[in-house]
Chains A and B, each alone.
Chain A
Amino acid sequence: MSDAEQPMDDHVPGEEEGFEPIEVFPEAEDMDLRPGADNCYKCSTCDTNCPVAEVDDEFPGPKFQGPEQWRLKRQEDHDIDDSVMKCSNCMRCDSACPSEVPLSQMHNTARAEYVEENMSKLSREYWRNRMLSNYRKLAPLAATFPRTANFVMGLSATQWMGEKVMGIAGDREFPEFATQTFRGWWTERGGNDTSREQARAARARRGEDLENPHKRIAYFHGCYSNYNTPEVAKALVRVYEHLGYEVMVPEQSCSGTPMFANGMLEDARRAAETNVRELADAIENGADIVASCSSCSMSIRQEYPELFDFEGTEDVAANTWDAVEYLRVHEDLKGELEGTAVDAEFAYHAPCHARNQGLDGQTVEVLSAIDGIDVEDVGDSCSGISGTYGWKEENYETSMKIGEEMFEHMEDAEATTGLTECPTCSMQMGHGTGYEITHTLEVLEAALVD
């Protein structure tokens, strides 16, 4: 019986017999997104937040990609529309929706289905996307020969090849690989044993109990701070140790963010399985998980429980923190920063994935306790790169158009150094303005650690 056939009398269902909800759609076999689709009252708030739909005539916006496409798909002869690949996975629609529609979850599943069923596994696009989203797999090679890799990647011939053969935007500079990875440094430094000693020394200096099983964290560094910006990861270690924390660095794979964005859900599942297993172990050992990259923490906290159900997924999600947020809640961070000084000005951009975790005001707020520092928020626009999105030749122009507002606001700001927590926002900020870009943790290190 459909809704329309419901009897129109004064009979109150459920009065005599138990209430039986009407099944309009068949039972969900997989993930049940129906309640999400039903919650959409089509106000289009998501559409007005979509940075891509504002500038790209080929993109129909999140309301279509999410709930409308979901409904269309109930008819069996409908394929996922190829425009789903234009979504940059910034996830702004999630925090926009006033009605609890899980838009990014719908996009992630639709994109995965599209790639699985409609994208040729022999196409250039498939392999390019697979390569971009599995950067973690290529990075170890480059990290083994970083100077060669940086030299080759920097060659204009390589960039031309990248664009013509692979469809990677030729105007982008490949990020430089560090000469020593963070994990290389960590091992050389003596790993967890050294960290335990450092933490004990700090506790002694701070007049705390030398043994404190609660001051233990496991660091999810992600790929970028391991291979490209180990100074961010080192800053995290030094700041935490300075405050008396023992740091552990568990085995880990990519967080999965670039894979979700490219519909490579099986790759993401494999990576997530490793991460959940390793991080659950760390939690078992008394650690909380912290991440320095806002997309990594977003992925573990939101996308894992939305998309996977390995044992421990919920537990890992519930015990993962943004690294600065963790200190704000567990330490008197404001008190620690009082009396410290850093003489610098920064133009700060809040990454979309930090925004979605309620962290967009955090950096400006925390750093304001430091003397001599001036941090200006450059507004709530999206940087436009959205991970691998802006690396694709076909998206490059759109990506730069989206970023225009941020570039303008950065140039208007006094500072000539940028600040953000997201590696790819950082690339875009540097690419659009030529500024050096740093990470909040590096500023905290400068303030707190001698």
Chain B
Amino acid sequence: MAITDDVLVIGGGIAGATTALAAAEEGVDVRLVTHKQSTLRNASGLIDVLGYTHEGEGPIVDPFERLEELPKGHPYERVGTEAVRDALSFFDAVAGDAYAGSHTDSNALVPTHGGTVKPTARYPVSTAAGLASDSQDTLLVGFETLTDFDAPLAASHLEAAGAPFSARGVTLQFPGIVRDDAKLTRYAHLLDHEESVSTGSGDRSAREALASIVKPHLEGESRVGLPALLGDEHAAEVRADLAESLGAGVFEVPMGPPSLPGMRLEDLLYDALEDAGVRVTSGVPVVDYETDEAGAIDHVLVDRHGQEIPHEASQYVLATGGLVGKGVRSERDRVFEPIFDCYVPHADDRYDWFVDDVFGEQPYARFGLVPDRELRPLGADEEPEFSNLRAAGAVLGGYDYAAEKSGAGVSLATGYVAGGRAGTEANR
């Protein structure tokens, strides 16, 4: 007997989780199967919609004004501007007060660990006090053992980029961290659990100790930016305690992988899935499928360490990610989608998959499935590959999320549309 649901979502990132939540809204049974942990742990946790045009112009002030210009085949063009708005409102309801930015259509400018600013539609509240559009002077604090964030360099970079405030950076020793390669989770755990750490002036709680080493470096700045490691489960409390001790605003600077804001976003989405009654099966890949007489997908096979367990649904959504998430893969002579072998357009000669200019218009960045307006992947003949399969997120082609800063937004919008549609169809 197959494990049976109405809608089966394959993939557990922003796109997969949004798909599952949107489908569950339709009152159907939804299951999400995800092979490995999502690449959200590599993500900044920022929810961008469109930071730059597909021609590289930007940063864009109002992303919604510019969506209409996107070329045919771009995922936003497929779903339409209204769907992008609806998807963001849907996200706002799920995120509640964990995210800010819903008060305006305009992009916020969030300082990153490289000292650049990223245009983004929504941002974690932990970054809110640090927005670059705010003119308060800023102290950035880095740590010797966290080489990913060079605070003095990031501060001068911010100033050089024309930030409307003065920024200064200092590098300190994180109290309680004893190894040079301590994990990000170790820092967060110390602060979350207020572990006792030894300092020059005796043992103190980790939060107090951190505030006490930062405070002497404040020279009138009214806000302090630290790398994003200020607690995990109790992040709001950690920030509030630090702000109170420092008498200044405290914000997190989003970091590269592994990223706590990305992990917190993952937790937020998975809590919402649990609340919505979505069944989640993780750690095991979907490896194959069978079709029915009409050519629709009858069931998929999930490999649980050797057994291929049939999972059946009336509607399926593929949200397995792009080249990084391995929803799209490549070999020396082909680019392909590994589960359903959906059509992925690409040049025959692999030397045409890239251009020499690293930051140029890279063909590989746009590799992915070609969907119709309902987000059903199309074959080379422009007909849907399967009547009951939709696709969402980075498995779709036709856009370069890294250049456009549109990764999270496309995942939200296409997940919202594909999930809603799959839910409605399953209800029929």
Q: B217: CB under 8 A from chain A?
A: no
From A10, A60, A100, B181 is in contact (CB under 8 Å) with: A60
Q: B334: CB under 8 A from chain A?
A: no
Q: B189: CB under 8 A from chain A?
A: yes
> Which residues of chain B are within 8 angstroms of A301 by Cβ–Cβ distance?
304-306
Verify A357–B184 contact, CB threshold 8 A.
Answer: no
Verify A48–B41 contact, CB threshold 8 A.
Answer: yes
Q: A332: CB under 8 A from chain B?
A: yes
A131 to B39, CA, bound (A): 41
> Which residues of chain A are within 8 angstroms of B184 by Cβ–Cβ distance?
44, 47-48
**Number of residue pairs across A and B with beta carbons under 8 Å?**
119
Q: A386: CB under 8 A from chain B?
A: no
* Most central of A49, A298, A317 by chain B CB within 10 Å: A49
From B42, B185, B186, B283, A95 is in contact (CB under 8 Å) with: B283
Q: A187: CB under 8 A from chain B?
A: no
Q: B291: CB under 8 A from chain A?
A: no
Say yes or no: A95-B282 contact (C-beta < 8 A), given A43-B41, A43-B258, A328-B3: yes
Q: A358: CB under 8 A from chain B?
A: yes
Say yes or no: A47-B185 contact (C-beta < 8 A), given A57-B179, A95-B283, A358-B304: yes
- Contact flags (1/0) for A222-250 with B, using CB distance below 8 Å? 00000000000000000000000000000
Total interface residues in chain B, CB < 8 Å = 43
Q: B101: CB under 8 A from chain A?
A: no
Chain A residue with the shortest CB-CB distance to B32:
A361
Say yes or no: A53-B185 contact (C-beta < 8 A), given A355-B282, A357-B284: yes
How many A residues are at the interface, by size bracket? Answer: 35 or more
Verify A54–B186 contact, CB threshold 8 A.
Answer: yes
Give the shortest distance, in Å, between B192 (CB) and chain A (any CB).
10
From A55, A317, A331, B306 is in contact (CB under 8 Å) with: A317
> Which residues of chain B are within 8 angstroms of A54 by Cβ–Cβ distance?
183, 185-186, 189
> Which residues of chain A are within 8 angstroms of B332 by Cβ–Cβ distance?
14, 19
A306 to B27, CA, bound (A): 42
Q: A278: CB under 8 A from chain B?
A: no
Q: A356: CB under 8 A from chain B?
A: yes
Give the shortest distance, in Å, between B234 (CB) and chain A (any CB).
12
Verify B183–A328 contact, CB threshold 8 A.
Answer: no
Q: B426: CB under 8 A from chain A?
A: no
> Which residues of chain B are within 8 angstroms of A317 by Cβ–Cβ distance?
305-306
Chain A residues proximal to chain B, CB less than 8 Å: 10, 12, 14, 19, 43-45, 47-50, 53-55, 57, 60-61, 64, 94-100, 298, 301-302, 305, 317-321, 325, 328-332, 355-361, 365, 377, 404-405
> Which residues of chain B are within 8 angstroms of A55 by Cβ–Cβ distance?
186, 189
> Which residues of chain B are within 8 angstroms of A359 by Cβ–Cβ distance?
304
From B1, B3, B183, A48 is in contact (CB under 8 Å) with: B183
Verify A325–B309 contact, CB threshold 8 A.
Answer: yes
A321 to B182, CA, bound (A): 38
Chain B residue with the shortest CB-CB distance to A53:
B183
Verify A47–B183 contact, CB threshold 8 A.
Answer: yes
Verify B309–A61 contact, CB threshold 8 A.
Answer: no
> Which residues of chain A are within 8 angstroms of B3 by Cβ–Cβ distance?
328-329
Give the shortest distance, in Å, between B198 (CB) and chain A (any CB).
12
A70 to B148, CA, bound (A): 24
Chain A residue with the shortest CB-CB distance to B351:
A12
* Most central of B1, B38, B305, B351 by chain A CB within 10 Å: B305
Verify B186–A358 contact, CB threshold 8 A.
Answer: no
A54 to B183, CA, bound (A): 7
